[in-house]
């Protein structure tokens, strides 16, 4: 009996091999050359075929002894009776309807179409909800969706292949600007037919193995046959999954939509045109409306010299004006070769009110600012209440359009301002200082001239000492002068005494040492004199007291 089982297994294996060979020959007779993928823009593409119905027909199974398994579109699939395949009763089956279905698949194409669109919409979140409703109403569903910011989002949907064009038209109407659209069609007919042929062969092997399993008399033979059945069943399930995917993809086209929120325009004021010297610093700031429900602002400056944009996010409302102003941006132009430069500012706001944008430009003229050389008068001395003349000379470059001067006298009086006529290179003025003071006054002359590169300027200073004026004088004598002289003399005497006292205090050690030395020397001298006087008196005293000479 074991020999009989092995012989039967070998025969079935040979039969399965013959079936595979016949199926391969049959596939070669039904397949056409694989066409290239069809790609187009927003125009028409090949019409999707009735692939799901074809798949359902192609995978119908007719074996009685095999339990049904899930097939495409939710139908039950059965192993067909194939030419040369062993059926449950051990006979060779005739050609089934699957042959005609596979032959038809070579003519009806399996086309999978994908459409990519970019839409500009009023609101991203509202557009995602509208597209979801449109997909459901068309018999499709949402594959994925995401809203990454108030300005950006994306959604992918699948809709029936026959309605993809009408759905795309509805999506175009949602866009407030011309929509970008691309369509891709791929032909999977060859793979679909290959899968069907492979399924037919695998199911034939599965039927033969199940028949052999039922006739096996030993456990080890049954285990080996069951292992082969499991392997074949796994291959069938993989092919059925791929076939179902192709069928569903051909029946429902994929539409990928990228969404961008449309921006509302606002008026932006970049400020007046500026003129600046090479290397000098210039500041820019923008003014724009303060729109409610806008949470964040971006102000981007392009200075026009290729240095790259600079973006600031700090803005502040202007009280009582309804406007906002951006934080100032400082910039230095170091080249005037391409002057003037076009400065562009772009303001973008996002928030609950959507997206708003606005731009403005100004002209920045960069050049070499002329230099004014200024020479003021030497320090002056004047009496209080008298007129003093101040004057200055300067160089006047030809590039200056106009020249203004301003005198500030330093005594709190009003300054003097004027415009110098063309060709004038000196400026004079007169002023009266009403009060004297010990420290001199500082008079300042400021020159400003306009040029194509900016404002040229120069500044000079002159010291003015103001003394007291003369009082009334009678007969050449002035009480105030006399009193002033007396005070000055007394002040000088007191100052001399004070200086002498300070010197005495500082040099006191030396004076004390000198006095001490003098006192010591004086005492020594007195002692020496006393000693000399005593010696002078001693001989006469000796002579009076000496004994008389012998006779």
- For helices 219-251 and 189-215, the axis angle rounded to 10 degrees is 160
What structural domains and CATH numbers belong to the chain?
2-260 (no CATH), 264-367 (2.60.40.10), 374-467 (2.60.40.10)
What percentage of the chain has pLDDT greater than the value 90? Answer: 23
* C-beta separation of 333 from 366 below 8 A: yes
- Please report, rounded to a whole number, the percentage of residues in the chain having pLDDT higher than 70: 74
How far out from the chain centre does Cα 174 lie?
31
Residue with tokens 């006298």: 409
Which residues have CB under 8 Å from 111's CB, separation 6+? 38, 45, 46, 47, 48, 49, 51, 161, 185, 186, 187, 188, 189, 250
Contact predicate 277/367, CB 8 Å: yes
The confidence score (pLDDT) of residue 37 equals 37
Q: Name the strand (E) or helix (H) holding 302.
A: strand 294-302
Per residue in 381-399, pLDDT (tens digit) is: 988 888 999 999 988 887 7
Segment 498-522 mean pLDDT: 83
- DSSP string for 137-153: HTT-EEEEEEEEETTEE
What are 132-177's pLDDT values in tens digits? Answer: 999 999 899 999 999 887 788 999 998 888 888 899 999 998 888 8
8 A C-beta contact, residue 211 and residue 8? no
- Residue 278: is its pLDDT beyond 60? yes
For residue range 44-82, what is the model confidence (pLDDT) as tens digits? 333 333 333 333 333 333 232 223 333 333 333 333 333
- Cα dist from 30 to 80, 106, 194, 473, whole Å: 19, 6, 10, 141
Cβ contact 115:221 at 8 Å: no
β-strand 263-265 against 354-367: which pairing, if any?
A: parallel
Is a pLDDT exceeding 70 seen at residue 419?
A: yes
Mean of per-residue pLDDT scores for the chain: 75
Nearest to 286 by CA among 310, 263, 315: 315
Q: Are strands 294-302 and 310-312 parallel, antiparallel or unpaired?
A: antiparallel
280 prior amide bond cis, ω within 30: no
Three-state secondary structure call for residue 248: helix
pLDDT of residue 161: 82
Task: Give residues with Cβ within 8 angstroms of 488, minimum separation 6.
Answer: none
The C-alpha atoms of residue 77 and residue 99 are separated, in whole angstroms, by 16
What pLDDT does residue 157 have? 92
Q: How far apart are CA 108 and CA 96, in angstroms?
A: 19
Q: What is the pTM of this model?
A: 0.43
| pLDDT of amino acid 544 | 52
- pLDDT at residue 87 is higher than 50: no
């Amino acid at each position: 009996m074991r020999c009989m089982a092995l012989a039967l297994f070998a025969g079935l294996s040979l039969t399965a091999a013959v079936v595979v060979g016949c199926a391969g020959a049959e596939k070669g007779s039904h397949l056409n050359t694989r066409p290239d993928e069809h790609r187009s823009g927003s125009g028409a593409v090949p019409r999707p075929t009735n692939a799901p119905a074809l798949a359902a027909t192609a995978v119908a199974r007719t074996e009685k002894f095999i339990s049904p398994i899930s097939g495409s579109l939710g139908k039950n699939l059965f192993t067909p009776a194939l030419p040369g395949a062993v059926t449950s009763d051990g006979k060779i089956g005739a050609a089934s309807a699957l042959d005609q279905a596979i032959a038809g698949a070579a003519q009806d194409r399996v086309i999978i179409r994908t459409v990519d669109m970019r839409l500009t919409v009023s609101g991203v979140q509202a557009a995602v909800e509208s597209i979801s409703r449109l997909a459901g109403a068309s018999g499709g569903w949402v594959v994925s969706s995401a809203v990454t910011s108030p300005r950006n989002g994306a959604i992918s949907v699948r809709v029936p292949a026959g309605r993809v064009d009408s759905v795309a038209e509805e999506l175009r109407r949602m866009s407030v600007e011309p929509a970008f659209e691309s369509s891709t069609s791929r032909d999977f007919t060859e793979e679909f037919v290959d899968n069907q042929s492979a399924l037919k062969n695998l199911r034939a092997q599965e039927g033969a193995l199940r028949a052999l399993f039922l006739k096996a008399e030993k456990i080890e033979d049954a285990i080996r046959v069951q292992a082969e059945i499991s392997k074949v069943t796994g291959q069938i399930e993989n092919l059925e999954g791929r076939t179902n995917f192709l069928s569903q993809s051909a029946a429902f086209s994929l539409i990928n939509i990228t969404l961008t929120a449309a921006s509302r325009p606002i008026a932006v004021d970049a400020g007046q045109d500026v003129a600046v010297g090479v290397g000098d610093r210039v500041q820019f700031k923008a003014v724009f409306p303060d729109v409610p429900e806008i949470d964040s602002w971006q102000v981007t400056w392009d200075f026009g010299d290729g240095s790259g944009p600079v973006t600031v996010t700090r803005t502040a409302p202007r009280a009582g004006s309804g406007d906002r102003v951006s934080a100032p941006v400082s910039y230095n132009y170091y080249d005037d070769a391409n002057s003037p430069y076009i400065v562009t500012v772009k303001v973008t706001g996002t928030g609950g009110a959507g997206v708003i944008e606005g731009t403005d430009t100004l002209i920045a003229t960069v050049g070499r600012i002329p230099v004014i050389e200024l020479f003021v008068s030497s320090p002056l001395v004047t009496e209080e209440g008298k007129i003093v003349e101040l004057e200055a000379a300067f160089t006047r470059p030809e590039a200056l359009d106009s020249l203004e001067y301003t005198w500030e006298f330093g005594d709190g009086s009003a300054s003097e301002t004027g415009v110098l006529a063309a060709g004038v290179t000196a400026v004079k003025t007169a002023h009266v200082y009403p009060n004297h003071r010990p420290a001199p006054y500082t008079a300042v002359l400021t020159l400003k001239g306009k040029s194509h590169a900016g404002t040229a300027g120069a500044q000079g200073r002159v010291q003015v000492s103001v003394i007291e004026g003369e009082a009334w004088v009678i007969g050449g004598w002035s009480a105030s002068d006399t009193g002033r002289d007396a005070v000055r003399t007394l002040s000088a005497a007191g100052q001399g005494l004070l200086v002498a006292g300070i010197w005495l205090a500082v040099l006191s050690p030396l004076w004390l040492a000198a006095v001490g030395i003098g006192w010591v020397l004086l005492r020594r001298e007195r002692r020496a004199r006393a000693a000399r006087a005593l010696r002078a008196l001693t001989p006469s005293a000796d002579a009076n007291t000496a004994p008389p000479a012998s006779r």
